[in-house]
């Protein structure tokens, strides 16, 4: 398997990063994950735009957009992939021990592309189990959720809670106790005829899949409610699902002790979302 590393395609066994890289030492870096359908990366420009936003917020130098785009497709083509998971990682780079970003003259840029085989069909037909974690989402005042940071320890602790309780994913609350997001996902639920999702100001990443789901739902005449929701709101919902790049729309069968069917609205949104993906892929260059 080939990896893009700092301007070169190398075999995965040769894709080595220094132990002095500040991504390794401090989690100082950013990333984006994407999906390729039929060899075309879905919403690549939007993902690069968000990567550039993260870089700007942490004052990290990025290669030109064209270089990133070429690197992504270079890895996909080198590995002869059609359906693929793609991750672009940019760290502060190699430098002496210390927090000062000026210690690192050049960033480390890595692009990984792997075959994406999908998820078991029973996940979509039966739903998956979630919990609400005791680990809280980082405060917006401490870490801007617009930054897709390599420092994921907060989310990992919540994921450990999920595994300890035999759940697939964990929902994290913000410091005020409002529903924020999953460890790697945005949360949606249906209540009183509306499609509800936590507002961005609660402290969530503006997921690209989240954005598209809201768009297709609005076009279909579904009422959207973005706001501040408590755990009781999701416990009393009629349907629940989460979204991210790889899962697209994943139905949820339970949150803690509350159970939910894989409902009609979730099924319709999955169909509308996939139709929109197919349209955008057909129209992409």
Enclosing domain of residue 98: 2-115
Q: Judge contact between 92 and 100, C-beta under 8 A.
A: no
Nearest to 147 by CA among 48, 23, 58, 26: 58
Q: How many domains does the chain have?
A: 2
Place of tokens 């159970």: 259
Structure tokens at 235: 């416990």
The reply to whether 88 and 199 lie within a common domain is no
Give the pLDDT score at 179. 98
Q: Do 125 and 100 share a structural domain?
A: no
DSSP 146: T
CA–CA distance, 189 with 235 (Å, rounded to integer) = 10
| Contact (CB, 8 A) for 231 and 106 | no
Q: Sign (positive/negative) of CA torsion 263, 267, 272, 273? A: positive
Domain final position from 115, 149, 175 = 115
CATH number for 76: 3.30.470.10
Query: Which CATH number characterizes residue 154's domain?
Result: 3.20.10.10
What is the secondary structure of 87-144 as a DSSP string?
EEEEE--B--SSS-GGG-SS-EEEEEEEE-----HHHHHH-EEEEE-SSPPPPTTTS-
- In the chain, % of residues over pLDDT 90: 98
Q: How confident is the model at residue 189 (pLDDT cuts 50, 70, 90)?
A: very high
Quote the tokens at residue 146. Answer: 């617009």
Looking at the fold, whether 70 and 91 belong to one and the same domain comes out as yes
The chain-wide mean pLDDT, for the chain, equals: 96
pLDDT digits (tens, 9 = 90+) for 37-93: 999 999 999 999 999 999 999 999 999 999 999 999 999 999 999 999 999 999 999
Percent of the chain with pLDDT over 70: 100
**Boundary residue ending a domain (62, 91, 115):** 115
The pair of structure tokens assigned to 273 is 């979302």
Whether 255 shows a pLDDT value over 70: the answer reads yes
Q: Is the pLDDT of residue 285 over 90?
A: no
- 133/54 same-domain check: no
**How much is the average pLDDT of 98-123?**
96
pLDDT the model gives residue 283 = 87
Same-domain check for residues 201 and 83: no
pLDDT at 284: 78
Q: Indicate if 102 and 127 belong to the same structural domain.
A: no
Question: Per-residue pLDDT tens for 140-184?
Answer: 999 999 999 999 999 999 999 999 999 999 999 999 999 999 999
Tokens of 171: 């929902």
pLDDT, average across residues 25-31 = 97
Confidence of residue 101 (pLDDT cuts 50, 70, 90): very high
Confidence of residue 213 (pLDDT cuts 50, 70, 90): very high
In terms of domains, do 83 and 177 share one? no
> Does residue 263 share a domain with residue 183?
yes
Q: Which of 62, 89, 115 is the last residue of a domain?
A: 115
Q: Both 140 and 246 in a single domain?
A: yes
Same domain for 126 and 213, yes or no, is yes
Claim to verify: residue 164 and residue 260 sit in the same structural domain: yes
Same domain flag for 125 and 258: yes
pTM exceeding the 0.75 threshold for the entire prediction: yes
Residue 97 has pLDDT above 70, yes or no: yes
């Amino acid at each position: 398997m080939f990896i893009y590393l700092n301007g070169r395609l190398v075999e995965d066994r040769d894709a080595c990063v220094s132990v002095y890289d500040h991504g390794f030492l401090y989690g100082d870096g950013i990333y984006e994950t994407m999906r390729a359908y039929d060899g075309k990366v879905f919403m690549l420009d939007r993902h690069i735009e968000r990567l550039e936003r993260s870089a700007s917020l942490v004052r990290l130098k990025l290669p030109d957009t064209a270089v990133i785009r070429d690197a992504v497709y270079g890895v996909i083509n080198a590995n002869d992939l059609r359906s693929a998971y793609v991750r672009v990682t940019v760290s502060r780079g190699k430098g002496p021990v210390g927090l000062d970003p000026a210690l690192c003259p050049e960033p480390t840029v890595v692009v990984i592309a792997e075959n994406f085989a999908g998820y078991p069909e029973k996940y979509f037909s039966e739903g998956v189990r979630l919990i609400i974690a005791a680990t809280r989402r980082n405060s917006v005042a401490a870490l801007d959720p617009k930054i897709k940071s390599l420092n994921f320890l907060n989310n990992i602790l919540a994921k450990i809670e999920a595994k300890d309780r035999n759940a697939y994913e964990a929902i994290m609350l913000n410091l005020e106790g409002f529903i924020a997001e999953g460890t790697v996902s945005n949360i949606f639920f249906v209540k009183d005829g509306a499609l509800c999702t936590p507002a961005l100001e609660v402290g969530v990443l503006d997921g690209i899949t989240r954005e598209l789901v809201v768009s297709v739902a609005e076009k279909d005449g579904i009422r959207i409610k973005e706001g501040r929701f408590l755990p009781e709101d999701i416990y009393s919902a009629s349907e629940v699902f989460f979204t991210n790049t790889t899962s697209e729309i994943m139905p949820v069968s339970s949150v803690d002790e509350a159970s939910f069917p894989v409902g009609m609205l979730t099924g319709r949104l999955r169909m509308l979302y996939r139709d929109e993906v197919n349209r955008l892929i057909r129209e992409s260059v």
